[in-house]
């Protein structure tokens, strides 16, 4: 009779997420993950062939989480208001969970590097709204501009690069107003 598994892939991914959220990728060692789910380190290999596979599963879960956050933020029925809400949701996630957020923009040597299909999942809610504000054929380049602004602001904020005073919430809203004003129609708060 086979032994009963003491953990599951979902529990392993959830534990790794918590460890990464608290201390970054390095905090999610195989031993730390095993301790978090209450098994010996080698038991993890029954579910994942290597640490990189766990990290990739965490990255995939983060893709799904960001997609859900953006989808839930876009509820007004007004594409411009929804775009504003999505930018705020992305920034809030970056502030609340910087280590998980960083998985969305991994480097080439990072085991969590996302695929084009992953990025398509993340930006799908954004593209849906952008197609509603005119020039549907231009939705992708506008989405790139939108994500570059929101991510750039969030990354600079996380790095402490905005040290010249001012109120970052006000500055973000001001810059977002101007970005949205370049789209057909006018953004309103």
Q: What is the pLDDT along the chain (189 residues), one digit of tens a residue?
A: 444 468 899 999 999 999 999 999 899 999 999 999 999 989 999 999 999 999 999 999 999 999 999 999 999 989 999 999 999 999 999 999 999 998 887 655 566 778 889 889 999 999 999 888 877 888 888 999 999 999 999 999 988 999 888 899 999 999 999 999 988 654 444
> What does pTM read for this prediction?
0.86
The C-alpha atoms of residue 115 and residue 73 are separated, in whole angstroms, by 24
Domains and CATH numbers, the chain: 1-49 (1.10.10.60), 60-181 (1.10.357.10)
What number of other Cβ atoms are within 10 A of residue 62's Cβ?
25
Q: Do 86 and 129 contact (CB within 8 A), yes or no?
A: yes
CA 80 to chain CA centroid, nearest Å: 21
């Amino acid at each position: 009779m086979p032994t009963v598994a003491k953990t599951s892939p979902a529990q392993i991914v959830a534990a790794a997420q918590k460890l990464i959220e608290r201390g970054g990728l390095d905090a999610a060692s195989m031993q730390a993950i095993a301790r978090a789910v209450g098994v010996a380190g080698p038991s993890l290999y029954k579910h994942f062939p290597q640490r990189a596979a766990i990290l990739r599963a965490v990255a995939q879960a983060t893709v799904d989480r960001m997609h859900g956050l953006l989808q839930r933020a876009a509820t007004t029925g007004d594409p411009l208001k929804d775009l504003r809400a999505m930018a705020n949701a992305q920034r809030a996630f970056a502030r609340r969970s910087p280590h998980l957020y960083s998985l969305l923009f991994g480097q080439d040597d990072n085991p969590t590097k996302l695929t084009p299909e992953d990025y398509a999942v993340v930006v799908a809610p954004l593209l849906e709204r952008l197609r509603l504000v005119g020039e549907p054929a231009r939705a992708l380049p506008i989405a790139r501009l939108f994500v570059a602004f929101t991510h750039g602001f969030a990354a600079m904020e996380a790095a402490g690069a905005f040290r010249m005073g001012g109120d970052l919430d006000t500055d973000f809203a001001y810059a977002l107003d101007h970005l949205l004003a370049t789209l057909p129609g006018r953004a309103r708060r």
